[in-house]
Amino acid sequence: MTNSYTVFEDLGVNDYKDTWDYQEKLFNEVVDVKLHNRDNPNDPQTITNHLLFVEHPHVYTLGKSGVQNNLLINEQFLKQINATFYKINRGGDITYHGPGQIVGYPILDLEALELQVKSYIDKLEEAIIQTLAEYGVKSERLDGATGVWIDTKVPGKSRKICAIGVKASRYVSMHGFALNVNTDLNYFNHINPCGFVDKGVTSLEKELGRKVDLQEVKDILLKKLSEIFHLQLNK
Q: Which domains does the chain have, with CATH numbers?
A: 4-234 (3.30.930.10)
Residue 194 catalytic? yes
What's the pTM value of the predicted model, to 2 decimals? Answer: 0.92
Q: Are 152 and 142 in contact (CB under 8 A)?
A: yes
| pLDDT for position 195 | 52
Across all residues in the chain, what is the average pLDDT?
A: 92
How far, rounded to the nearest angstrom, does the alpha carbon of residue 160 sit from its chain's CA centroid?
13
Residues 159-185: tens digit of each pLDDT: 999 999 999 999 999 999 999 999 999
Specify the pLDDT at position 145: 87
Exactly one of 30, 145, 194, 204 is catalytic; name it.
Answer: 194
Of 91 and 2, which is predicted with more confidence?
91
How far from 3 is each of 34, 109, 145, 231, CA to CA, in Å?
Answer: 11, 11, 34, 12
Pairing relationship of beta strands 59-62 and 84-87 according to DSSP bridges: parallel
Q: What are the tens digits of pLDDT across the range 15-35?
A: 999 999 999 999 999 999 999
pLDDT at 53: 98
